Amino acid sequence: MKAVITVLGSDKVGIIAKVSSLLAKKNVNILDISQTIMQDIFTMIMLVDFSGSDCKVSELGEELEKCGQELGVSITIAHEGIFNSMHRI
């Protein structure tokens, strides 16, 4: 199962490090990362794979939210299905 993580906020040192170390701890594999500045907002998008992990998306979501609060950015996670449904036929 794959999911998409988005990080929005102001850029600072250590965002990727912190998020990816949390993912590593949960054995969630990062398949792709892209980052850009959209309308002056730092935007990072990660595609991650849960197939080797015992962790659920909802559990990771709670930890990512905490992680986001510490970093002062907003982090969301969603099953890739919602994006595929909306944008691919």
**64 CB neighbour count, 10 Å cutoff:** 22
Kindly state the DSSP code that residue 11 receives in the 8-state scheme. -
Subset of residues 52 to 81 that bind another protein, contact rule: CB under 8 A: 56-58, 61, 76-81
Answer yes or no: are the C-beta atoms of 80 and 47 closer than 8 Å.
Answer: yes
- Establish if 29 lies at the interface with another protein (CB under 8 A): no
Among 47, 55, 63, 71, binds another protein (CB under 8 A): 47
**Phi, psi (5° rounding) for residue 80?**
-60, -15
- Establish if 6 lies at the interface with another protein (CB under 8 A): yes
Minimum gap (Å) between residue 22 Cβ and another protein? 17
Minimum gap (Å) between residue 65 Cβ and another protein? 11
3-state secondary structure 65-80: HHHHHHHCEEEEEEEH
Which residues contact another protein (rule: CB under 8 A)? Answer: 4, 6, 8, 32, 34, 36, 38, 43, 45, 47, 56-58, 61, 76-88
